[in-house]
Amino acid sequence: MSNQRQQTNGSGKPDAKDERRSSDRPAASSGPRRGPGGRWGPVEKPKDAKGTLRRLGAYVWQQRAALIWVFLLVIITSGLGVLGPFLMGLGIDRYITEQDLPGLGRLAILMIAVYVVSALAMFMQQYIMAAASQKAVFNLRNDLFTKLQTLSLRYFDSYTHGELMSRLTNDVGNVSQILGEAVVNLISSALSIIGVATMMFVINWRLALVTLTIVPMMMVITKTISKQTRAGFKLRQEHLGTLNGIVEETITGHKVVKAYVREETVVDEFEVTNRKLQRASVKAMIFAGFVGPMMNFVNNTGYALVAGAGGWLAVRDMATVGAIAAFISYARQFSWPLNSIAQLYNQIQSALAGAERVFQVLDETPEVQDEADAVPLASVRGDVVFENVDFYYEPDVPVLKDVSLHAAPGQIVALVGPTGAGKTTIVNLLTRFYDIQGGSIKVDGYDIRELLMDDLRRQLGIVLQDTFLFGTTVMENIRYGRLDATDEEVLAAAKLANADGFIRRLPQGYQTLLSENGSNLSQGQRQLLAISRAVLADPGILILDEATSSVDTRTERYIQEAMLRLMEGRTSFVIAHRLSTIRKADQILVINHGEIIERGTHEELLKQQGFYHHLYVSQFKGQETAPVSAD
């Protein structure tokens, strides 16, 4: 099935009753929402950090082979790092005090070898972990994008495109930035702490106890600051998503902004949200910035304690000069992983804030899903039946009420009525973009809820008033209707849709690259490409939603000729405000307030002198002769 967007009425907006108020958006969804009291609703409170961290760990654990190698290399680098200060203390006590220069030379060569091997092992662990972490992020990003493809339209009605794009880019980017570094540093820091503490107790247990006095201080500082930083980073990510939503809306609707001279308004709106983002970022960074100075203070306090206690023990022959020198080095090595963990914990808050938002999307359950026993649908005859269909977005506010219709195979069924009557909702339900609350919709005798959605939608071709085109070539935009189509089949579809002529006049013909949404083409040309795409898809059921309402009379004639060829032999549903375009429909359904109030052919409805007659005549008001029949 060709690419679809939410159906629109003649104004380019969803039918009024199709639009959900903010109070009707799914309660399970999270993130900033448009609210009646302002542009955005309240920010959701942070969720369980441990659970989010555990789920991120599952993505990393998928690269367990690389993690094993990293773990082994970290053991090597940590062991060699612990060995260095020990050799330095040994050199002072055994060679420098004894003035054994040859022995000192051999020890120096050994220490150089230790540090060279340590550097090479560290490079290898960083290289392997970088590849493993990016593979984990690749999988996370793929899962998120795949999940977005499975979600129902109601979910996308609840968020701006910019908000969802922010989760896929900024939030995943935050996870990517910290993931590789976090795993290596956490393992390395833990092993370093164990190794250094062990060596300190082996050398001098008294000095070891003195050194360990800084640990409780670091733990208290880290715990106190982390509470504030995580909340700050979470709020920052929320405001960033909001800002992206404003940017995306403003860029997409730039013509409307300029047409109504609203540049100053959108700049003010952007500035308000940007200022909120600034304040949240400053608050988060201020608390995060506390960690470094506080850790430096604790470290320097630890060095002073070791130096003072070491000097006191040396005077009493309870410690050697080499041991004291080694302990000062060990104190630095002991404080470094503690500092690293503290800083890392701070950075993880930002990553967790993004990861939470990603997992919120991954945890969403699509509103419309295949049943466990759904059956495939290879082809359709096009027999469509609505039986007593009820549908609503909000409880007790029906959009469709007891709608029944029957479209026989090959029939053209026209849907007419005022804006907001529910015409587009009917075709949205046929495509199963939403599920009904009452009654049934059947295709060839099958309830569409019993069919595989992909199979159903492959049998549906939709041409909208607001055609969506991709930023690729004309050829590929038509081929989107059937990706395995040959170039010859694409050309044949374009000819059948009356599009071949204007395409060949383009600078590069079928290889002409279109700008975003085909803005370098006219509305009529975009419609002809959409019809070409539908011709190529060869659907059994066709839906035409206001396909000619925005073009001139001459272009409309070309489009109507193409649509007549496309509708030939297919069951077709045509939504039209220009009633002159549907006079030859096999049946016309007049919809008002979610109910079918009249049905029949064009001539039959005119004879009834009812709602349809009033609509038809009013469209030609002011003309010398108002047509009153199909002739």
Place of tokens 């595989």: 452
510 compared with 95, residue with greater pLDDT: 510
Picking from 72, 116, 79, 110, the residue whose alpha carbon sits closest to that of residue 199 is 79
Residue 335, pLDDT above cutoff 60: yes
CA distance linking residue 445 with residue 369, whole number of Å? 20
Give the residues across from 397 on adjacent strands: 394
Q: Answer whether 0.75 is exceeded by the pTM.
A: no
DSSP 35: B
Q: What percent of the chain has pLDDT over 70?
A: 84
By DSSP bridging, strand 541-545 and strand 460-464 are parallel
Residue 543 near residue 430, CB atoms below 8 Å: yes
The gap from C-alpha 329 to its chain's centroid, in whole angstroms, comes to 48
Picking from 45, 208, 70, 43, the residue whose alpha carbon sits closest to that of residue 136 is 70
163 membership: H or E segment, kind and range: helix 161-166
Q: How many CB atoms lie within 10 A of CB 324?
A: 22
Laid out side by side, the sheet with 541-545 consists of 460-464, 541-545, 571-575, 412-416, 587-592, 595-600
Instruction: Calculate helix-pair angle for 101-150, 64-90, nearest 10 degrees.
Output: 160
Quick one: pLDDT band at residue 1, thresholds 50, 70, 90?
very low
Mean pLDDT of the chain: 78
CA distance linking residue 30 with residue 360, whole number of Å? 7
Q: What is the mean pLDDT of the segment spanning 362-376? A: 87
Task: Give tens-digit pLDDT for 152-201.
Answer: 888 887 777 777 887 887 788 878 877 767 777 777 777 777 877 887 78
What lies within 8 Å, CB to CB, of 321 at 6+ separation is 92, 93, 97, 314
Could you tell me the residue ranges of all domains in the chain?
Answer: 56-362, 380-459+542-548+576-621
Instruction: Calculate helix-pair angle for 172-203, 101-150, nearest 10 degrees.
Output: 150
Task: Give tens-digit pLDDT for 13-30.
Answer: 344 333 333 333 333 333
Pick the CATH number of 380-459+542-548+576-621 from 1.10.1070.20, 3.40.50.360, 3.40.50.300, 3.30.460.20: 3.40.50.300
What was the pLDDT predicted at 24?
A: 35
Q: What is the CATH architecture assignment of 56-362?
A: Up-down Bundle (1.20)
Residue 140 near residue 59, CB atoms below 8 Å: yes
What was the pLDDT predicted at 404?
A: 94
Picking from 409, 478, 459, 463, the residue whose alpha carbon sits closest to that of residue 576 is 463
